[in-house]
Amino acid sequence: MTDMNRNGESREHRVVITGMGVLAPNGNGLEEYWDSLIEGRSGLGIASSFDVHDLPVKTVAELKRFDPKDYMDFKEAKRMARFSQVGIAAARMALDQSGLDLGREDRTRIGCEVGTGIGGFREIAEEIEAFTLRGEHGPERISPFFVPRVIPNMASCQIAIHFGLEGPNNTDTTACAASTQSLGNAYRVLQRGDADVMLAGGAEANLCRFGLASFAAMRVLSTQVDDPTKASRPFDAQRDGFVPGEGAGMLVLETLEHAESREAAVFAELIGFAVTDDAFHIVMPEEDGDGPARAMQKALDDAGLGPQDVDYINAHGTSTQLNDKSETTAIKRVFGERAGKIPISSTKSMIGHLLGAAGAVEAIATILSMNHGMVHPTINLEHPDPDCDLDYVPNQARRHGIDVALSNSFGFGGQNACILLKRFEANGQR
């Protein structure tokens, strides 16, 4: 039910971010992740967890030094797909940073919303392969945990079970826009007063032979192998596709009232959200950037802001020919003459494309940039593309004050999601 003020009018709660947790190919935890971003360190390399000798694509963005036993019981971990494991790990980091004492909270007022592009795709591929190899005994050997391991809502549900969160629980599977949409949907839950706290973000872990071959068949992946760290080249004229990755980003969102009641540290305020659809093609964006432009404009409208108010844009920036050109066009449509004056960077240049987890991991990069007054670079931008002629902060971090930032995510099916983040001011107005 929407909260009412003393005059019986509905009111929207302000929503703040009080905790963040991240597992990324270039760093586990906020400190390592941020240091890598500012120093321009790539997390890309030739796949090491499975055989790629006969695949046309070999470069991926794998997590390093991730052991689920560091975050949960071994038996519990074995019953989960990897995307749920990384989701729980990032959620634990976020809760730890937030200082939220779950033992003192009404857990029916704490919910969870997680975005994932595919769910347990890696485990599905492994089980089908094992099923086939087992021959006539295959049906007898299927694990009873197989289905509840792989279905997409399991990351959100496993997080809720692990931490005892009994409030609203939702899963967003809007491809590469999923975790930005999960942040936005959690924002709406809190705005209308349906919960006090939402743990929201994204989790993806589907790197495997079958998955890589499947994406390679679409001809959307980079084939760069000579120097894998240069395979993701957003906005560069020589870009040749994205690099698939794995990871998770989770954030603790609270109503301002709840955060203030426990004297929590606040890292940013979420002030705008919008989603649109291109209604154009299952994988190709429109050249004129209409869908993304509408999402950006609607997010600005939702926040009551204009183009002049945005200090930084974290781009979707996948390193594909079509996306980077389309996003550039969309930004110009929304921001007009100011488009060329706003620093823009693509986190994917260093972490690859984390699919459904990308938006949340990039939102964390945006908040860290805001709090440090520093914009991380778009690395590997060495050959300017005439069609991508904005300020993408090439190759070197830049000191830059950020009060308001826009974070973009666009996915297969024409899914577009944008959020606006603001430097927190205790007495500020929406």
Catalytic residues: 176, 316, 353
Among 129, 178, 135, 123, residue whose Cα is nearest residue 410 = 178
At 112 the three-state DSSP class reads strand
Q: Give all strands (DSSP E) within 318-414, no chain letters.
A: 344-345, 374-375, 398-399, 404-411
* Residue 242: CB atoms within 10 Å: 26
51: its two tokens: 């055989």
37: its two tokens: 């971003």
Spatial distance between the Cα atoms of 234 and 427, rounded to a whole number of angstroms: 38
Return the H-helix or E-strand segment holding 419.
Answer: strand 415-422
Spatial distance between the Cα atoms of 422 and 311, rounded to a whole number of angstroms: 10
Return the H-helix or E-strand segment holding 277.
Answer: strand 268-277
Among 360, 346, 420, residue whose Cα is nearest residue 176 = 360
Contact 179, 115 (CB under 8 A): yes
Please count the residues of the chain: 430
Return the H-helix or E-strand segment holding 313.
Answer: strand 312-314
